[in-house]
Amino acid sequence: MQIIAELEELETQLEIEKACRENAEVFAVKLNKENRKLQRLSQALQPAWDTLPSDIAHLTLEDADPTADPDFRYQLQVTEFQGRISDLLEEKRQLVNKVQEMESRLVELVKQVEEEHAEKMDLRKALERQNKNLQQINTVSSMVSREYEELKEHLELEQSLRQLAESYAHQVKEL
């Protein structure tokens, strides 16, 4: 479950990265168009530049607010997007490594489960053999017990008959 969530997060981050790249490309295209437009305007105004008063001609772009320039804003956004893309790529790399580690851990756990299952099956077979042997021993033991009881009864019968015969022989001898 955690791997799936991380993969979904990676996909989301990749979509963000893709959107950032697309926006950066759009801004770059706009920037190129505006640069070409400004170059044409600059070339068109070049002849009039010489006719301007000297105090206006010495003004530089440094006097202007750089944050008001759309090119500057686009460049900042592109830089920001590039930083975000780098961060997302690093995070993606880390997550890929983490997924690989989890996959290898999963392989190890599956192997361990298979080994434990095989060991369990071996123990079950050994237990079944021991139960079978125990049943055979119990059967033999009950047969031996019955035979012992029969022999004991036969012995007691023989002893009682011998005593009876001896007492009868004793009586006959006295007569």
132 located within any domain: no
Query: Is position 94 within any domain?
Result: yes
Task: Collapse the DSSP code of 74 into the 3-class scheme (helix H, G, I; strand E, B; otherwise coil) and give the result.
Answer: helix
In sign, the C-alpha dihedral spanning 168, 169, 170, 171 is positive
Query: Is a pLDDT exceeding 50 seen at residue 120?
Result: yes
In a domain, 99, yes or no: yes
Q: Which of 9-13, 50-54, 116-120 has the lowest mean pLDDT?
A: 50-54
CA pair distance 49, 67, nearest whole angstrom: 25
Nearest to 33 by CA among 77, 69, 65, 71: 71
Q: What is the token pair recorded at 153? A: 């009864």
State phi, psi for 58 to the nearest 5 degrees: -85, -5
8 Å CB contact between 103 and 97:
no
Average pLDDT, the chain: 84
Classify residue 66: in a domain, yes or no.
Answer: yes
CA angle 52, 54, 57 (to 5 degrees): 65
Residue 135 covered by a domain: no
Inside any domain, residue 73 = yes
Asked if residue 75 is part of any domain, the answer here is: yes
Range of 39's domain?
2-107
Please write the tens of the pLDDT for every residue from 67-115. Answer: 566 778 778 887 888 888 888 888 888 988 899 999 999 999 999 999 9
Tell me how many degrees the CA angle 51-57-59 measures, rounded to the nearest 5.
Answer: 160
Q: What phi and psi values does residue 172 have, to the nearest 5 degrees?
A: -70, -35
How many whole angstroms separate alpha carbon 175 and alpha carbon 162? 20
> Nearest 5°: CA angle at 120, between 116 and 121?
120
Total number of domains constituting the chain: 1
Residue 27 lies in a domain: yes
DSSP-derived 3-state class of residue 51: coil
The reported pLDDT for the residue numbered 61 is 46
pTM confidence score: 0.43
For the cut 90, the answer to whether the pLDDT of residue 152 exceeds it is yes
Listed in sequence order, the DSSP H helices in 58-175 are 70-174
- What are the CA-CA distances from residue 147 to residues 68, 109, 115, 137 (Å)? 115, 56, 48, 15
In the prediction, which pLDDT does 92 show? 84
